[in-house]
Structure 1
Amino acid sequence: MSRKERITSPHVAEAAPGMWSNCLKVDDTLYISGLTARANDGTSIVGETPYEQAHYIFTKMKHLVEAAGGKMDDMVTLTVYVTDIKYNEGVWKARREFFTGDFPACALVGVKELAKPEILVEIQGQARLGAAG
């Protein structure tokens, strides 16, 4: 029988109770919520450019994947939300620093706004532990 397990990392602040989980594991699949460049203090944003924010987000994602026993190349799908579609170049530059081989399937979605005006990028994804070999 499958069981849902919350995955946490000391490097990634969790949301307040009753809000959401950053990462859930069911069997060998990880479900990672939309992560932003919100710092662990919960108020400040890390990075002023799309590249800096995406790099920070991928770093947080890496901490969660590794806490579950995986690696970034186990990621199979990403959905990237940006407040300006032109931000794709910075996001893709950061992404190339975290993945090798077959990159995750990915969608880039332009949105009017995210949780705070200074948040330019939000990324969610799924990983299959052991998928990278």
Structure 2
Amino acid sequence: MKQILCIALAIIFYSCEQNQKNVTKDIEKEIIVESEVPEYFLLRPEVEKAYGYSHAVKIGNSIKISGAVSMNNEGNPTAIGDLEQQMKNCYADLEKVLNHYGCTFDDVVVENIFTTDMPAFLQVSGYRNEIYKNQFPTGSWLGVKELAIPEFMIEIELEVHKSK
């Protein structure tokens, strides 16, 4: 009786193992690997080439956006001494990049803000409520000694997840 029970269990185990292998093979056949070629975007091509960076790169559903600062199309600082206006100018540029990829601020999952004047930023940070109407992304606010050009008081970088 024990031998029959052992044989029966061995057959059941073998049968289950074969079914698992077949299921695994079927799943492997269904997986399609898409090539994820980076798509680069330059907001101000001449400025970005001169400084050696791309304003954004999209790979798959992820988009990384370089820190936006308050500058004109020639790369000169704008709203000098006015942190609130510089912040608004940053968000205006970031919106242009998001629009290029068919995204909005609702698609932002990470926002990092760098500022040379944290107390002033904290006073005007409520403006972000006009940008993020549904939810806020994760991120960090960092007080820094300086940014790329002395007149820049704030820089905002984003990470985006674009749903298909």
CA shift, 1:119, in A, is: 0.5
* 2:162 paired residue number: 129
User: Stretches of 4+ moved more than 4 A in 1?
Assistant: none
Instruction: Give 5+ residue unaligned stretches, structure 1.
Output: none
State the shift of 1:88 in Å: 2.5
In structure 1, give the amino acid aligned to 2:39.
Answer: E
Tell me the SS of whatever aligns to 2:132: coil
Cα distance change, pair 59–41 in 1 and its aligned pair in 2 (3 A): same
CA deviations over 1:27-57 (Å, ceiling 9, x no partner)? 1111001111011121232453211111110
Distance, in Å, in 1 between the alignment partners of 2:89 and 2:127 is 9
Separation in structure 2 between the aligned mates of residue 102 and residue 83 of structure 1, nearest angstrom: 26
CA distance in 2, matches of 1:77, 1:121: 16
Q: What per-residue deviation string (whole Å, max 9, x for no partner) do you get for residues 65-112 of structure 1?
A: 111011111000011000021133255233222111111112000100
**1:100 corresponds to:** 133
Q: Matches of 1:123 and 1:88 in 2, distance apart?
A: 12
User: Which of 110, 117, 131 is matched with 1:77 structurally?
Assistant: 110
The answer to which structure has the higher strand fraction is 1
Shift in CA distance, 128/78, structure 1 to aligned 2, threshold 3 Å: same
User: Which structure is richer in relative contact order (CA contacts within 8 A, separation 6 or more)?
Assistant: 1
Which residue of the other structure, out of 101, 106, 110, is the alignment partner of 1:68?
101
Q: 1:72 to 1:48 in 2, by over 3 A?
A: same
TM normalised by structure 2 equals 0.71
Partners of 1:91 and 1:106 lie apart in 2 by 17
Give the structure 2 partner of residue 49 of structure 1: 82
Let me know the Cα RMSD of the aligned residues.
1.9
Under a length normalisation based on structure 1, what TM-score does the superposition of the two structures give? Answer: 0.86
> Counterpart of 1:57 in structure 2: which amino acid?
C
Contact 1:28 / 1:129 at 8 angstroms: preserved in 2? yes
Count of residues in Structure 1 that have an aligned counterpart in Structure 2: 128
| Structure number having the greater helix percentage | 2
Contact in 1 for aligned 2:111/2:140 (Cα 8 Å): yes
Determine the structure 2 residue equivalent to 1:23.
Answer: 56
Question: Which has the larger Rg?
Answer: 2
CA distance in 1 between partners of 2:150 and 2:138 (Å) = 28
Unaligned runs of 5+ in 2: 1-34
What's the secondary structure of 2:131's corresponding residue?
Answer: coil
